[in-house]
Structure 1
Amino acid sequence: MLTKIKITLFSLFISFSFCSSQEIKIIDKPITYDSTRVRLSLEYLKERHGIHQNTPTIQPKIIVLHWTAAKTFSSTFNAFYPAKLPNGDRKDIAAVSSLNTSSQFLIDRDGTIYRLMPENYFARHVIGLNYCAIGVENVGSANFPLTDAQLKANEALVRYLKKKYDIQYLIGHYEYSKFKDTPLWKETNPNYLTGKSDPGADFMKKIREDLKDLALKGVPTD
């Protein structure tokens, strides 16, 4: 079974590499997506989102932008790489699931875009919305502001994803809880929330201005 999963995922990466838009350069650098991550992802979908599936796939409707709170690409990549959270790490979220955090994309300081898994595969990066959200992590933090190169890379990536999927929303991670009382929100524990500030309101203001032609929605207003 494990061999079959590895072959399937490898084939998906090959397919995604050849299908990448000519307007954007994306480097495939996969994290571990073995039978353990598949099992834990399916369990998360069932237990946290109330969704029963046989494959850990999503139908993307939201793009969520993040910052890593780390200064290097390698430290974030190494943190995402294992299928399970390290023992004793992130106790606030480990109590909910041992599935490691991750995202579909990770953008370095120079604007290089890395794809960590097939774009429509499940990643744990945003409470309540993982089942329909593509995550884009950016190397940086409040004290290590995101760069102009990252801004341009995020803009290009959002345009690329909008062309491929039925993307309706573009939000910063700090805005995710605004969806709690909407039909999109799927979290079985109403008290499971964590405070976030990434990727910063200024970054979101800039990217929304530059992408206003896409008419993507932000947080719900009703």
Structure 2
Amino acid sequence: MAVAMPPIVHDPIPFGPQRVAETRAYAVRHYGLQRARLVAPRVIVEHMTENSSFRATFNTFAPDVADPELHELPATCSHFVIDQSGTIHQLVSLKWICRHTVGLNYTAIGIEHVGFSEDGVLGNRRMLRASLRLTRWLQSRFHIATRNVIGHNESLNSPYHHEDVARLRTQTHGDWPHRFMVRYRADL
């Protein structure tokens, strides 16, 4: 059964020809793929922004500069950001790969939640409702199983995880660990 698309505010970050070319080069280095396009995504990754506003998140992703952690281009980004009011912002078209989760970017849609803690999302009814609506819609649109809706911290356990750069094969982040994702997936 098809799920209705939730209200989405389009707030695109710059994603012009240079960023597309950098994304293609990134996909070649990390996945052996000659494309910048996100083709048949199989994973949805939930993230925390570690800041307090949509604007701060936008300002992090908009400049195409090497990221401070891995020092690579293109800059990091996420397809969607959900702010604390429950507004869903789309930053990047679903036709492009975004750098949000090492080992999964080639097949994953990224959703950022504005805030500092998973409890803050799970305890904010508007934010959680928006997140679940967006995730359900994406699952329906791309036929993504609930088991493949993961927290960033669960990335290494995904059957889709693939990383050609040896030093990054075990790289992940602490946001949305399993104990929070068990509840989130149950709510889906």
Fold shared per TM-score above 0.5: yes
2:134 counterpart residue number: 157
Q: Residue 172 of structure 1: which of 151, 160, 166 is its match?
A: 151
1:31 maps to amino acid: I
- The 3-state SS of whatever aligns with 2:183 is helix
Counterpart of 1:25 in structure 2 is 7
Alignment-mate amino acid for residue 189 of structure 1: V
Residue in structure 1 matched with residue 98 of structure 2 by the alignment: 123
What is the Cα-based RMSD across aligned positions, in Å?
2.0
1:134 match? 109
Return the alpha-carbon distance in structure 1 between the equivalents of residues 81 and 165 of structure 2.
Answer: 28
Residue 200 of structure 1 deviates from its aligned partner by 4.6
Amino acid at match of 1:64: V
Is the CA contact 2:15–2:92 (under 8 Å) kept in the aligned structure 1? yes
Per the alignment, residue 41 of structure 2 pairs with 60
Q: Alignment partner of 1:131: what SS?
A: coil
**Which residue of 163, 175, 179 maps to 1:198?**
175
C-alpha change, 1:203 and 1:111, in structure 2 (3 Å) is farther
What's the secondary structure of 1:136's corresponding residue? Answer: strand
Gap runs ≥5 in structure 2: none
Query: CA 1:25/1:143 → structure 2, altered by over 3 Å: closer, same or farther?
Result: closer
Q: Which one has a bigger Cα radius of gyration?
A: 1
Output the CA distance in 1 between the equivalents of 2:4 and 2:149.
Answer: 23
Q: Report if the CA contact (8 A) 2:29-2:165 is conserved.
A: no
CA distance in 1, matches of 2:100, 2:47: 9
Q: Could you tell me whether the CA contact under 8 Å between 1:36 and 1:83 is conserved in 2?
A: no
Are residue 186 (structure 1) and residue 186 (structure 2) matched? Answer: no
Unpaired stretches in structure 1, ≥5 consecutive residues: 1-20, 212-222
Which aligned segments of 4 or more residues in structure 1 are displaced greater than 3 angstroms?
200-203
Following TM superposition, by how much is the alpha carbon of 1:144 offset from its aligned partner in structure 2, in angstroms? Answer: 8.0
Work out which structure has the larger RCO, using CA pairs closer than 8 Å and 6 or more positions apart in sequence: 2
2:60 aligned with 1:79? yes
Equivalent residue number for residue 26 of structure 2:
44
Residue 195 of structure 1 and its aligned partner are, at CA, apart by 4.2
The Cα shift of 1:130 comes to 0.3
How many residues are matched? Answer: 181
Query: In 2, Cα distance between the equivalents of 1:188 and 1:195?
Result: 15
SS at match of 1:177: helix
With structure 2 as the length reference, what TM-score do the two structures score?
0.87
Indicate the SS of the match to 2:31: coil
